[in-house]
Amino acid sequence: MIMWIEEGKKIKLDQKRWDERFKGKGFAFGKGPSPFLKKHIHLLQKGKILDIASGEGRNAIFLARQGFDVDAVDISGVGLKKAQKLAGEFGVKIHALLADLNTYQIEKEKYDLIANFYFLRRSLISQIKKGLRKGGRVIFETYILEQRNIGTEGPKDPKYFLKPNELLRLFKDFHVLYYREGIFKEGGRRKAVASLIAEKP
């Protein structure tokens, strides 16, 4: 079951666009987790987790299969339905929340882990911090500006790309356990990203 956080509100442009993108049989970003998440799973302690802008669920489902208790929030009902179906195929459950992250309020001190992959809303950073319990961790990866020179993948608007060192600065009050920034070849393709794992003090 998907929980409709904003039932009755008019369908937003983002929702239309992403529903359209996800409506096919295939998985736009694949069924498997982000290589960064998979490689660093040992740095993430089990517990209650929020996957922000979870899309078709590749990371949420991977985490559920590792024993995490997963809330997955996204504006695309189509993506969330596919995610729940795929979770079922793997014999796991995720709690799907349909909501607009421009207005959604993350519950304070609820999560042991918050995952944010390929979605950048700077206004959410303080909410991510508040949403974590003390000692909770954030795992974050998204494109940096160089991505626009190396591929067609990624958003068009420059505001959705991280600037140099920006992700590190955004979490400077956290204990940074891992950080990288640059062009990496993963999953058979090159991409320009910043990736971080950090702990709430």
Binding site for ligand SAM (CB under 6 A): 14, 18, 29, 34, 53-55, 58-59, 74-76, 79, 100-102, 117-119
Task: Name the residue nearer to ligand SAM (CB basis): 152 or 201.
Answer: 152
**Each residue of 171-201: b (16+ CB within 10 Å) or e?**
beebeeeeeebeeeeeeeeebbbbbbbbbbe
Task: Name the residue nearer to ligand SAM (CB basis): 105 or 173.
Answer: 105
Report the nearest approach of ligand SAM to the CB of residue 11 (Å).
12
Backbone angles phi, psi at 144, to 5 degrees: -100, 170
Report the nearest approach of ligand SAM to the CB of residue 61 (Å).
10
Report the nearest approach of ligand SAM to the CB of residue 55 (Å).
3
Report the nearest approach of ligand SAM to the CB of residue 31 (Å).
10
CA angle 142, 130, 169 (to 5 degrees): 45
Report the nearest approach of ligand SAM to the CB of residue 201 (Å).
26
Nearest to 97 by CA among 59, 29, 50: 50
Task: Name the residue nearer to ligand SAM (CB basis): 157 or 172.
Answer: 157
Here the tokens at position 127 are 């909410």
Task: Name the residue nearer to ligand SAM (CB basis): 20 or 173.
Answer: 20
Task: Name the residue nearer to ligand SAM (CB basis): 68 or 119.
Answer: 119
Task: Name the residue nearer to ligand SAM (CB basis): 100 or 146.
Answer: 100
Determine what percent of the chain falls in helix, strand and coil, rounding each to the nearest 5: 30, 30, 40
Compute the distance between CA of residue 35 and CA of residue 63 in angstroms, rounded to an integer.
13
- Which residue is closest to ligand SAM by CB? 55
Report the nearest approach of ligand SAM to the CB of residue 172 (Å).
24
Work out the end-to-end distance of the chain between its first and last CA atoms, rounded to an integer number of angstroms.
35
